[in-house]
Amino acid sequence: MNKILKLLIWTFILFFLLLIVSAISLSLGSVEISLKDFLFALKNKNSIEHDILIKTRMPRILLGLAIGGSLSICGAILQAIFKNPLVEPYTLGISGGAGLGVSIAVFFKINLLFSGLTVTLSGFLGAMMICLILFVIKMKSGFKNINQILLTGVMLSFICSSMILFIMAVSSSMDLQAIVYWIMGSLDEPDINLIYITLISSVIILFVSFLFTRHLNALQLGEEEALNLGIKTEKVKKILFVLTSIITGLSVSVAGIIGFVGLIVPHFVRLLISRDYRLILILSFLSGAIFLIICDTIARTVISPIELPVGVITGIFGGLLFINTLMKRQRDL
């Protein structure tokens, strides 16, 4: 009962904070909208402020909610599977595969031949190719030696990064700019349908992953303990690996590479609130959404009207926050 009460309290706190952060993000930008103008803009559909709020800033908040929540949940799940708090969704080379797919599409002008979704589709296919390679390599031996999968993913990431650098070296300046901007990450997605798909997918992974909370808690105890509790560890790991890979691939293909969200958010939730995955999953989803929306707001406003890639902000703040926490823990010890 205490766990349920704790979950409800923290969910309410983070959800309320999410609403506050979203409202602030809606009001800030190259065109600042006060509270009075904010209410007027919502009612007056013909105003410029209404278009800014509904057509420009609201989609970014929805995408920030989806991407931040998805990456945080995927990070929390992978950290349980690998029993390593430093694992994140991009560690397995998924981001490298997506980046390579986008780079190939831009270099060969495929993105100009077809619809605007070509870049997103190319990134998703690249990410899924890495996942397929990892899955095929370990299909024979199973998921018992989980560290081999992690090491293979890291090596694949290096290979993809080298191939991306090669493509960038021989690309034109315009193509180079497009590749670099995508790699640094952005929530500026013009296709609202794609945003809705990403948002729905993030909610789906939240509900599906919540069905595995008992399994994730058991995996934290170790393989033998989980088996003694009746958990089919091999099957659970495969299902969760495929699930997180697909959602990570979708997130990367839509928003580019946004680092540190899947690493630090579940780590801090586990460190500050609870190690119980019944709390970690939901609270990581909300915390990840809050963190990414804040970073995107900073990216839009810190040197307005110029917009920074959100991946730059998450990298700087996430890295500094992580280092600061580690130093504090060392001093406490």
List pLDDT tens digits, range 210-249. 898 888 888 877 777 777 767 777 788 888 888 888 888 8
Lowest mean pLDDT among 15-24, 85-94, 191-200, 290-299: 85-94
List pLDDT tens digits, range 167-212. 999 988 888 888 888 888 888 888 888 899 999 999 998 999 989 8
CATH of the domain at 207: 1.10.3470.10
More confident residue, 51 or 297: 297
- Residue range 47-72: average pLDDT? 88
pTM over 0.85: yes
The residue segments making up the domain with residue 308 are 2-332
Cα angle: 181, vertex 266, 28; to 5 degrees: 50
Structural contact between residues 227 and 233, judged by C-beta atoms closer than 8 angstroms:
yes
The number of distinct structural domains making up the chain is 1
The Cα 151–Cα 215 span in angstroms is 24
Query: Comparing C-alpha atoms, which of 26, 25, 29, 53 is closest to residue 300?
Result: 29
Structural contact between residues 240 and 208, judged by C-beta atoms closer than 8 angstroms:
no
Query: 41 is written with which tokens?
Result: 């803009």
